Structure 1
């Protein structure tokens, strides 16, 4: 059963990866780099700072930044513990995929998926009643995770688990934030 799931995971990655076209490589290199998403996050943090009382905005933004670091640390610890080889480095899969970038660290589970979904879920839950456009922020993790399949650096299961872990982290920190706000009576 596990072998069948692994085979399906590999075949799905090969299919998705081979949908890519060479003239889109530059676009996906841009999308997959976190640094290019920083202006979007700064914009959202700015909107939070302008809309909420300053002390509350600091908590929202502070928790958001902590989520980034917490998620990255968790992902790296799991990757070191699991040691799943990336598809671009797997001799059974690599010949069948387009390899544009080739990270050397491990694959399971996706840091891009975890971090982007954790932060987006947290921000969405806090801001959904304040900014009607906040659901559009989910475009970030969707583009972000597809880029990882496009480059053949993650299996679909790496992405799926990363998304689920990210959502759980986002919900957990939303609840922690709410409990903290109620305790401090900041609103």
Structure 2
């Protein structure tokens, strides 16, 4: 059974890694980077503070950091040293001879579970519960997770099994962080943290007032980031 699952895991990885367009290589490489998503993080922070107030908002932002810390440490410091499953891109792994790399990127030695999957899922679940009244934000976070997880397999640095295991760790970490954070906010603020307003921002437009949904602002920031990365990558390939 284990051999069958291992073979299936490898077959799916090679299918994803092998089905590619060279023009998208850099795009997938950039998607996998943490720094390119800074604008999305900043917008999320602004919206959290606006919806919950600056005191509760900063505590909730710290809770998102806690979710990442729990997920990352559980994967990198606890599970990986115990399992020691080599990445498909690891030169010591026989599968590496069939894996196509981008920019010579191998990743670390071990890849089970995926820290990228764990971290993104942890943050996405945490923020999805924070913005539970804003469906477009939840949808944007789901797409963000899928893009990140797919890019890791496209780059050949994680098996699908690594991604699934990392996602499960992230779900648990995000849930724990959310419970701890909101209990702490309730204790410190002496009240249950609830959004101070709906999912909209009122913007002055001439003599009138235009309403811009928070969800749209968050979604457009994510979409703009993806479009810019795609344009830069394709232009760099053809130019």
Give the TM-score, by structure 2 length.
0.73
The within-5 A match list for 1:1-187 is: 1-77=1-77, 78-89=79-90, 90-100=92-102, 101-129=105-133, 131-135=134-138, 136-183=140-187, 184-187=190-193
State the alpha-carbon separation in 1 of the partners of residues 179 and 121 from structure 2: 16
C-alpha deviation, 1:16, in angstroms: 1.2
Matched residue count = 186
> Secondary structure of the residue that 1:103 maps to in structure 2?
coil
Give yes or no for contact 2:70–2:173 (8 Å, CA) kept in 1: no
Please report how far the alpha carbon of residue 69 of structure 1 lies from its aligned counterpart in structure 2 after TM superposition.
Answer: 2.2
Contact kept? 1:56, 1:186, Cα under 8 Å: no
Return the index of the structure with the highest Cα Rg.
Answer: 2
| Distance in 1 of aligned mates of 2:175 and 2:108 | 31
Q: Which runs of 5+ in 1 are unaligned?
A: none
The alpha carbon displacement at 1:151 in A equals 0.8
Bigger shift: residues 174-183 or 156-165: 174-183
- Does the CA contact (< 8 Å) of 2:87 and 2:93 recur in 1? no
SS for the counterpart of 1:87 is coil
The Cα RMSD (Å) is 1.5
Cα deviation, residue 150, structure 1? 0.3
Structure 2 runs not aligned, ≥5 long: 194-239
User: Displacement, 1:186?
Assistant: 4.7
Question: When you count helix as a share of all residues, which structure comes out higher?
Answer: 1
